[in-house]
């Protein structure tokens, strides 16, 4: 299967974006940065407030995207990452996916507010992509690798 056909056959049933915002962060600024960079409208996010361990305000933001939106988001995220991050995703796919084939990408929230995208583990915008089909080594995994490598020359 060619690289192009493998990644273009990769379909998602949905995507979910989650992020935690603390009282010191500007919710609107962060959501506008996500809208600008990832093209996910602010009105797609729902908000729930929690209280932290030290009685500090924490806001959880969540957006659930349709199949078509998830595919567009995946391509957008990958196009924004630098070649080192895309290579890391390809090499360490097992760290970014689970037994059901869900793909987990965490983007640096602070860099997103600066108009850039990079992988991050801490203080991240968490995105879960749910594949249409169950995980198979030759199918979903290769599709993810092809997706990550599709922009290496771009």
**pLDDT at residue 116 tops 60:** yes
24 burial type by CB count under 10 A (0-12 exposed, 13-18 middle, 19+ buried) = exposed
Confidence of residue 6 (pLDDT cuts 50, 70, 90): very low
Q: Which pLDDT does position 134 carry in this prediction? A: 57
Integer Cα distance of 30 and 19 in angstroms: 10
**pLDDT at residue 5 tops 50:** no
**Spatial CB neighbours of 56, under 8 Å, sequence gap ≥ 6:** 22, 23
Integer Cα distance of 151 and 149 in angstroms: 5
Between 54 and 109, name the one with better pLDDT: 109
**Which pairs count as long-range contacts for 37-43, CB under 8 Å and 24+ apart, including other chains?**
37/76, 37/80, 37/112, 37/115, 37/117, 38/73, 38/76, 38/77, 38/80, 39/72, 39/73, 39/76, 40/65, 40/69, 40/73
Return the CATH architecture of domain 3-147: 2-Layer Sandwich (3.30)
């Amino acid at each position: 299967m060619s690289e192009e056909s493998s990644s273009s056959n990769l379909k998602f049933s949905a995507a979910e974006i989650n992020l935690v915002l603390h009282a010191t962060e500007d919710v609107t600024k962060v959501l506008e940065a996500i809208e600008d960079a990832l093209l996910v409208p602010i009105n797609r996010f729902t908000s729930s407030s929690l209280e932290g361990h030290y009685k500090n305000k924490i806001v959880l933001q969540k957006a659930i995207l349709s199949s078509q939106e998830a595919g567009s988001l995946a391509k957008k995220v990958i196009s924004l990452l630098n070649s080192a991050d895309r290579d890391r995703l390809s090499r360490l796919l097992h760290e970014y996916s689970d037994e059901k084939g869900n793909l987990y990408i965490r983007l640096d929230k602070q860099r997103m507010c600066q108009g850039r995208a990079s992988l991050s583990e801490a203080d991240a915008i968490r995105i879960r992509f749910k594949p249409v089909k169950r995980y198979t080594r030759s199918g979903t995994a290769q599709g993810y690798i092809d997706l990550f490598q599709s922009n290496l020359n771009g």
